[in-house]
Amino acid sequence: MSRPRDLIAAAAGRLAGAGVESPQSDATELLTHVLKVTRSQLTLVDEIDAAAEAEYEALVAQRATRIPLQHLTGVAYFRHVELQVGPGVFIPRPETELLAGWAIDAADPAGRVDAEGGVSRSPIVLDLCTGSGAIAKAVKDECPAAEVHAVELSVDAFAWAEKNLAGIDVDLRQGDAFKAFDDLVGTVDVIACNPPYIPLEAWESVALEARDHDPQIALFSGQDGLDAIRLLELRAAELLRPGGVVGVEHADAQGESAPEVFRATGRWSDVRDHKDLAGRARFLTARLRG
**What are the residue boundaries of the structural domains of the chain, listed by start?**
4-65, 90-288
Instruction: Write the CA distances from 239 to 72, 185, 191, 245, integer angstroms.
Output: 38, 4, 9, 10
Residue 201 and residue 172 in contact, taking contact as beta carbons nearer than 8 Å? no
pLDDT of 203: 46
> What does the alpha-carbon distance between residue 112 and residue 121 come to, in Å, rounded to a whole number?
7
The residue type of 185 is V
What residues form the annotated binding site? 152, 194-197
What residues form the annotated binding site for S-adenosyl-L-methionine? 152, 194
pLDDT of 91: 87
Instruction: Write the CA distances from 213 to 14, 66, 71, 158, integer angstroms.
Output: 21, 9, 9, 16
Give 76-99 pLDDT, tens digit per residue: 999 999 999 998 888 898 899 999
Q: Is 4-65 in CATH node 1.25.40?
A: no
What residues form the annotated binding site for substrate? 194-197
pLDDT of 110: 46
Q: Is 90-288 in CATH node 3.40.50.150?
A: yes
Residue 280 and residue 252 in contact, taking contact as beta carbons nearer than 8 Å? yes
> What does the alpha-carbon distance between residue 26 and residue 12 come to, in Å, rounded to a whole number?
8
In DSSP notation, 169-218 reads SEEEEES-TTT--GGGTTTEEEEEE----B-GGGGGGS-HHHHHHS-GGG
Residue 229 and residue 248 in contact, taking contact as beta carbons nearer than 8 Å? yes
Which residues of the chain register pLDDT less than 50?
Answer: 110-111, 113-115, 203, 206
> What does the alpha-carbon distance between residue 81 and residue 83 come to, in Å, rounded to a whole number?
7
pLDDT of 42: 84
Q: Is 68 helix (H, G, I), strand (E, B) or coil?
A: coil
